[in-house]
Structure 1
């Protein structure tokens, strides 16, 4: 196997490992968000940031490997996508490339909906935090519910915290 292909497959394997780690972190993050455990959430977020930085470095290596293959096969770099890579890959290289691609698709299929669910949980948590901050900081917090088309009435000021304290 050509060293250019070896480099590409190795970087793809590393990226796949990082995506699997992100999937695990996001699965844990969902449980932490449900439990509202801010310390555990902070720890997971730090782990996620470290992985993302590492992914960025490996992604640069992957781009270089793809560019090298594009130069080798005389394909414009902008056109060297996965289908073009498959067109030029042969034998075990093609098999490995197909296996890695299928593994990426499986991880992404789990990761995307999980990210969307986590984003909704985060938005809900932020809404609750904002509501509580408004209550504690003496900002107006009106009635939560009112009949359709009617005014909920005057807003009562909360006096839970002394602004001078």
Structure 2
């Protein structure tokens, strides 16, 4: 078995663990959005950014290992992705790498679905806030005397004091 393939399998396993961590964070973010815990949501977002940096690093490692494999096998071109790599491998290695690839695909799909849910929840929260702000900051409360009433009788409501 090729040294590059052994390292690639290990990198894929580690990358899967990182994506699992991202998925767990996405689940936690859903809870924080529902519970309106903004500070905790910010902390989770920072952790997520760390995971994203790790994922980027593993993408670079994977590309490097594909290059090493191409050198080892004296291929004219470096396989661009795992699917392209499979055509150069024996059947027993194909099955294991395909299984690892499929696990990654499933986890990434789950993350994507969870992120769409979180986005929907956040947008609903923002819409709710917007409706409440509009209700609280109406420019006019209405004029009980009709349109011809003196401008002095018009009342305005403000939630914020502009002096501060």
Q: How would you bin the TM-score normalised by the shorter chain? A: 0.7 to 0.9
Matches of 1:140 and 1:57, distance apart in 2: 53
In 1: Cα distance, 2:157 partner to 2:69 partner: 66
**SS of 1:163's equivalent?**
coil
Gap change, CA 1:96 and 1:141, over 3 Å in 2: farther
Contact 2:2/2:69 (8 A) holds in 1: no
Task: Tell me the TM-score normalised to structure 1 length.
Answer: 0.76
Would the aligned equivalents of 1:8 and 1:62 in 2 still touch at CA under 8 Å?
Answer: yes
| 1:76 counterpart residue number | 77
Aligned counterparts of 1:141 and 1:8: Cα–Cα separation in 2: 66
Unpaired segments ≥5 residues, structure 2: 142-154
Q: Looking at CA atoms only, which structure, 1 or 2, has the larger radius of gyration?
A: 2
2:125 is the counterpart of 1:160: no
Q: Equivalents in 1 of 2:140, 2:9: separation in Å?
A: 56
**What is the CA deviation profile of residues 78-133 of structure 1, one whole-angstrom value per residue up to 9, with x for unaligned ones?**
x5333321111225422320220221122123222111111111222233344555
Aligned to 1:31: 31
Give unpaired runs (5+ residues) of structure 1. 143-155
Which residue number corresponds to residue 94 of structure 1? 94
Q: Write the distance in 2 (CA, Å) between the matches of 1:66 and 1:139.
A: 61
Task: Report how many residues are paired.
Answer: 150
Give secondary structure in 1 for the equivalent of 2:87.
Answer: helix
Rounded Cα–Cα distance in structure 2 between residues aligned with 1:135 and 1:6: 62
Shift of 1:7: 1.9
Q: Which residue of 1 aligns with 2:56?
A: 56
1:44 is matched with: 44
RMSD, matched Cα: 2.6
Q: What SS is found at the alignment partner of 1:36?
A: coil
